[in-house]
Each structure stands twice: as structure tokens, then as C-alpha cells.
């Protein structure tokens, strides 16, 4: 059984984040990285922005560490006042995404008691049947930094009573 840890981005080596964000298969899935040189300086700014989400909203992305190795980053980020799920994994760890997703959903709906979460995907991501099977439904389209994204929403079916 794999040991999975959710850490803050400040707790992992920046060189691991830089390698991930410059991996050609990862960049292919991330249109906002198209014209960005992801180096040490960019990485420090990236981590600062992600950490500021924790301060401002009480939640933000984690670093995923699997069996002691940095696997990627993701979790919930505030996007226009809504909790948006992001997951960026190194290709070596693409098979662990479902396990990470289940834990993020557990935290979102049981601990944080969110009524819904969203996922933003570029229109080029056409293989979405897995997302739809999880219960996400197309919500809207929006533009971020001159890039088009499709927003999918997952409602909390548990309707947690406070």
C-alpha cells in the first residue's frame, strides 16, 4: 500500500515542482503555461500565490507526496469565489489520481461542508467521460488570461446538516 501525504507546497523541494511544471506532457494539458518559462523565480512566485490562497480562503492546493516522492500538486483553489479542484500530477503518478481525488472530495464535502466544487478544463481536453461518471455536469464557459475553459460542477449530494 502506498503512503500518501498532503503537504504544503512550501514543504517540498522547488526543483521537483520546476521539473513537474516543465514536463512536456504536463505542459500540454496546461494552456496557461504556454508562454511561461517555469524557473526558480517563477516557482517562488507560484508558491507565494498558492500560499496566499490558504491565508485568504482557508484552503488551497497541496503538494502530493507518494512513498516519499513528490507526485504533483492540487486540491481546492478559490476561483471567482468557488472551490475549484485542480490536479497536476507527474506522468509517473497518473494512476494515483483517483485516490487523491477521493480524499480531496472527502475534505471538500465532509470537512469543509462545501455545497459544490468545480473543475476547469480547456476545450482541448475532450476525454471527459471519467469526469462525467464522477457526477460532474457542464456548468459554463469562461476565459482566464485570454484562454477559454469549460467549467464542470459537482454538487454535494450528501447535503451535510450543520
In a domain, 143, yes or no: no
DSSP summary character for residue 107: I
Grid look-up 447535503 returns 159
In a domain, 126, yes or no: no
- Tens-digit pLDDT profile for residues 69-115: 999 999 999 988 899 999 999 999 999 999 999 999 999 999 999 99
In a domain, 91, yes or no: yes
Model confidence at 162, pLDDT cuts 50, 70, 90, reads: very low
Q: How far is CA 18 from CA 23, 70, 87, 140, 152, in A?
A: 9, 11, 16, 32, 28
pLDDT at 159: 55
DSSP secondary structure, 72-106, as one string: EEEEEEEETTEEEEEEEE-GGGGGGHHHHHHHHHH
Mean pLDDT of the chain: 90
pLDDT at 156 over 60: yes
In a domain, 100, yes or no: yes
In a domain, 155, yes or no: no
Helix (H) or strand (E) holding 148: strand 147-155
What backbone phi and psi angles, to 5 degrees, belong to 118? -125, 165
pLDDT at 161: 45
In a domain, 20, yes or no: yes
- Tens-digit pLDDT profile for residues 107-138: 999 999 999 999 999 888 888 898 899 999 99
pLDDT at 144: 77
For the chain, the first-to-last Cα distance in angstroms comes to: 34
In a domain, 129, yes or no: no
Cα–Cα distance between 131 and 135 in angstroms, integer? 7
In a domain, 140, yes or no: no
Cα–Cα distance between 61 and 86 in angstroms, integer? 8
CATH of the domain at 24: 3.40.630.30
Total domain count for the chain? 1
**Containing structural domain, residue 74:** 4-114
Amino acid at each position: 500500500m502506498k503512503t500518501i501525504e498532503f503537504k504544503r507546497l512550501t514543504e517540498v523541494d522547488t526543483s521537483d515542482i520546476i521539473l513537474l511544471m516543465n514536463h512536456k506532457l504536463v505542459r500540454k494539458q496546461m494552456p496557461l503555461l504556454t508562454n511561461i518559462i517555469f524557473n526558480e523565480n517563477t516557482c517562488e512566485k507560484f508558491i507565494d500565490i498558492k500560499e496566499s490562497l490558504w491565508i485568504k480562503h482557508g484552503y488551497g492546493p497541496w503538494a502530493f507526496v507518494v512513498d516519499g516522492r513528490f507526485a504533483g500538486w492540487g486540491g481546492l483553489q478559490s476561483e471567482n469565489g468557488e472551490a475549484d479542484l485542480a490536479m497536476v500530477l507527474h506522468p509517473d503518478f497518473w494512476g494515483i489520481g483517483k485516490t487523491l481525488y477521493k480524499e480531496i472530495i472527502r475534505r471538500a464535502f465532509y470537512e469543509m461542508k462545501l455545497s459544490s466544487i468545480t473543475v476547469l478544463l480547456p476545450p482541448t481536453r475532450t476525454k471527459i467521460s471519467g469526469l462525467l461518471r464522477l457526477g460532474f455536469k457542464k456548468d459554463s464557459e469562461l476565459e482566464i488570461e485570454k484562454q477559454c475553459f469549460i467549467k464542470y460542477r459537482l454538487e454535494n449530494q450528501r447535503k451535510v446538516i450543520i
